[in-house]
Amino acid sequence: MKVPNHIAIILDGNGRWAKAKGMPRALGHKQGSKNVEDMCEIMDDIGVKYFTVYAFSTENWNRPDKEVTGIMSLLRNYLKTGIKRANKNNMRIRILGDISRLDEDLQESIVETEKATAANTGLQFQMALNYGSRDEIRRAVTKIAEKVEAGDLKATDITEDTISASLDTAGIPDPDLLIRTSGEQRLSNYLLWQCAYTEFYFTDKHWPDFNKEELLKAIDSYNNRDRRYGKVTEE
């Protein structure tokens, strides 16, 4: 079995998972957050090098205040123990997205976590927070335009690599496999540039129920794909 180098997940269905059990949505998010921690260990165990989850989108601010506050407090808890756990597992944590809209204490914890785990060489874990791919591309274009304005870059020298290197995922290889849980089959503004040649896998399982067995099913499906990158494959 060929293990993908980079797996990206759109973790969806926390709310539906809770609803099906007659529980409040907040409990679904709590269970979902625990599953992110478990999944990092599983990814590392099976030999995945990069794992990127979509935890909070630029559009998720439109949810009720109480739900947003609940998700932010789960993030706060996650970051509290994050450095210790990451260093124990040699895991590097990076955040994708515009963190400037988050509470100041969260921004500080994020900077500290990224710094404290930067030299770890095991699982490279990315969490997308206040992330939207269109916003990421907009920010990248601004950065590039500023270089052109300053005379440090010629407009005609802008390559695809210039753009990749200006995104939040700079230096991180594109995902090989993208998984979305809970039945929806859309990208919801996730990694639009980076998923140009990524294989997609959709499952009806809600995120809190997505476990090692389900991950192996996704990887098995990936192994049966014929990745072409625009080429023809042999008859």
The two tokens of residue 139 are 């920010």
β-strand partners of 94: 126
- In the region spanning residues 160 to 199, those forming contacts with ligand IPE, defined by CB under 6 A, are 182, 184, 186, 188
Residue 50 · residue 127 · CB < 8 Å: no
> Quick one: which of 4, 11, 12, 86 contacts Mg ion (CB under 5 A)?
12
CA distance 32 to 208: 5
Q: Per the residue annotation, which of 12, 44, 174, 176 is the catalytic one?
A: 12
- In the region spanning residues 51 to 80, those forming contacts with ligand IPE, defined by CB under 6 A, are 54-57, 60, 71
Rg (CA), the chain: 18
| Residue 57 contact, options ligand IPE, Mg ion, none, Cβ 5-8 Å cut-off depending on partner type | ligand IPE
Query: Least distance to ligand IPE from the beta carbon of 33, Å?
Result: 9
Query: Least distance to ligand IPE from the beta carbon of 152, Å?
Result: 35
Of the pair 57, 113, the CB lying nearest ligand IPE is at 57
Residue 130 · residue 97 · CB < 8 Å: yes
Stretch of 49-57, 97-105, 171-179, 197-205 contacting ligand IPE, by CB under 6 A: 49-57
Q: Has 12 been annotated as catalytic?
A: yes
Of the pair 50, 54, the CB lying nearest ligand IPE is at 54
Residue with tokens 């180098």: 5
Query: Least distance to ligand IPE from the beta carbon of 78, Å?
Result: 13
Q: What is the dihedral of CA 68, 72, 74, 78, to 10 degrees?
A: 150
Residue 127 · residue 55 · CB < 8 Å: yes
Burial class for 119, CB neighbours closer than 10 Å (0-12, 13-18, 19+)? exposed
Residue 190 · residue 10 · CB < 8 Å: yes
Does position 11 interact with ligand IPE (CB under 6 A)? The reply is yes
CA distance 69 to 102: 11
Q: Has 60 been annotated as catalytic?
A: yes
Of the pair 4, 15, the CB lying nearest ligand IPE is at 15
The site for Mg ion (CB under 5 A) is made up of 12
The site for ligand IPE (CB under 6 A) is made up of 10-16, 54-57, 60, 71, 182, 184, 186, 188
Hey, which residues are catalytic here? 12, 60
